[in-house]
Amino acid sequence: MPELIQMDTKKYRGEWIVIIDDVVIAHNKDIRLLKDVIDHCKKKPLIMKVPDADILLY
Amino acid sequence: MAILFRYINILREDGTLRRAPYIPAWIRNKDNALEQFSALIDSGADSCVMPFDLAEYLGVQQQGVSEKTMGIGGTVGVKRAQVSLTIKSQRERYELLLPVLVAQNSELNIPFILGRNGFFENFHILFRQNELKISLKKVAPK
């Protein structure tokens, strides 16, 4: 897993981010809109939903 | 052997850190390819819950009947489904058929949640909170 402590993810709150080598290469609120980017990645990315601070669940 | 994952750290808007037990979870999509997602291990959740857009993205077949389930955030409609989930490290690899509830509210802002039913039976899970690590040891479900 990437060391997200090194990454400033707060600007992506509530969004899906696509990460390769600890770099966010794409982001969107709807993961379906990231499909083209993900399909064209040269290596398998990590896809993560960045928690929204307003959600109590996590 | 147990698979050990470090908690991930996420910056809050106020600059403080949130540490949480997310692990890499590989899920088969409708084309039978594995894709890697971060999933929150949630011992307080009865079930595994998948966001609606993730299920649609993966092409997960959902059962027709919508049910209601309750969480801290309130009541939400869900549909039952199954996904092929793989947990792996460099040395170990475990694939299991995981029952999930797909949240039907596309506005619900939740991560992919690995709750107890269907997941915790397959692993002895140890939250090493003081070390910010989580370990999973595969066991046979009863």
**Is residue B4 predicted with pLDDT exceeding 50?**
yes
Per-residue H/E/C for B79-136: EEEEEEEEEECCCCEEEEEEEEEEECCCCCCCCEEECCCCCHHHEEEEEECCCCEEEE
Collapsing DSSP states into helix, strand and coil, what is residue B15? coil
Nearest-Cα distance to chain B for A47, in Å, is: 5
Nearest-Cα distance to chain B for A5, in Å, is: 5
For the stretch B50-61, pLDDT in tens is 999 999 999 999
Nearest-Cα distance to chain B for A9, in Å, is: 6
Is the CB of residue B127 less than 8 Å away from at least one CB of chain A? no
Tokens 């993961």 belong to: A31
Tokens 């490290």 belong to: B89
Residue with the larger pLDDT of the pair B108 and B77: B77
Q: A36-40, B59-63, B74-78, B85-89: lowest mean pLDDT where?
A: B74-78
C-alpha closest to that of B64 among B80, B52, B50? B80
For the stretch A5-56, pLDDT in tens is 456 777 888 899 999 988 899 999 999 999 999 999 999 999 999 877 544 4
b/e burial code for range B60-82 (CB count within 10 A of at least 16 → b): bebeeeeeeeebeeeebebbebe
Separation between Cα atoms, residue B107 and residue A44, nearest integer Å? 27
Q: Looking at the partner chain, which of A8, A14, A45 has a beta carbon nearest the beta carbon of B11?
A: A8
Separation between Cα atoms, residue B45 and residue B42, nearest integer Å? 6
CB atoms within 10 A of CB B18: 14
Q: Looking at the partner chain, which of A4, A14, A44 has a beta carbon nearest the beta carbon of B109?
A: A14
Which residues does chain A have within 8 Å of residue B13's beta carbon, measured at their own beta carbons? 10, 13, 53
- Alpha carbon of residue B18 to chain centroid: 18
Q: Looking at the partner chain, which of B24, B42, B73 has a beta carbon nearest the beta carbon of A1?
A: B24
- Asked whether the beta carbons of residue B18 and residue A48 sit closer than 8 angstroms, the reply is no
Nearest-Cα distance to chain A for B37, in Å, is: 5
Task: Write the ipTM.
Answer: 0.86
